[in-house]
Amino acid sequence: MIVYPAIDVLEGMVVRLTRGDSSQARVYSKDPVATAAGWVLRGASWIHLVSLDAAFGRAEAPLELIRAAASTGAKVQYGGGVRTERAACLAVEAGASRIVLGTAAVADPCLATALVKELGSGMVAVALDAREGALAVSGWRETTAQTAVSLGGRLADCGVRHVIYTEVERDGCMSGPPTAAAAFLAESTGLEVIASGGVSSLEDIAGLARTGRIAGVVVGRALYEGALDLADALGEPGTGGSAVC
């Protein structure tokens, strides 16, 4: 299970939101690249980089930031504003090791299919963000009639290998990760599921690893506020930062 330190960038600053609400942004750094380098020095080989400005439709994907983050030696899993094949390819050309599709793939799974064919399954992930069981889209402002399992099954049939599963109610709240739901999604679809949101302790990491079904975990606030040490997380049995899930 791979541990991905999260770097969410809003107006050039590293922040964490609560349930996706930009009005509740906590600022942790004014230098995203230095933050990425710091996580690499602490043992991370992957980072989960998101441009919230791009995700909210306020800007294009920040190619220079992706390029600079990749120059730290980290593999960059990038999300935010990747709504077309061209945007995905530009992010990869800038240095992203994997791009994350959100609303665009929920609305049109064929986009994910096309990118898997063009880039390879290891370089494409789809964000499945759930609110009360239904998938949330458009910056989590809207919900759909689809569930993570129903869409996950369709994506798997299209050749998608990785999904990032978040429960909106947990994100940024340090209330515990969606362990059972993420494991069920993996078991039901055969997808490599990366759990995101809610991690607050080393025990949360251990619980995810013990399922034997979860391929990775994205951790943000717990790392930034010192509730979890990255070295401890990487040292937990069943976790690591060097393998490609």
**Structural domains of the chain, ranges and CATH numbers in brackets:** 2-235 (3.20.20.70)
Mean pLDDT of 203-224: 96
Q: How confident is the model at residue 244 (pLDDT cuts 50, 70, 90)?
A: very low
pLDDT at 107: 83
Contact by Cβ (8 Å): 5, 44: yes
| Of 14, 23, 6, nearest in space to 139 by CA | 23
Active-site residue flag, 8 = yes
Where on the phi/psi map is residue 28: left (φ > 0), alpha (ψ -120 to 50), or beta? alpha
| Of 129, 141, 69, nearest in space to 102 by CA | 129
Q: Evaluate if residue 242 carries a pLDDT over 50.
A: no
> Which one of the listed residues 53, 129, 171, 204 is annotated catalytic?
129
Residues 124-152 have pLDDT tens digits of 999 998 887 778 776 656 666 688 999 99
Distance CA(145)–CA(107), nearest Å, equals 11
Active-site residue flag, 129 = yes
Distance CA(55)–CA(25), nearest Å, equals 15
Distance CA(199)–CA(197), nearest Å, equals 6
> Which one of the listed residues 8, 53, 171, 204 is annotated catalytic?
8
For the whole model, what pTM was predicted?
0.93
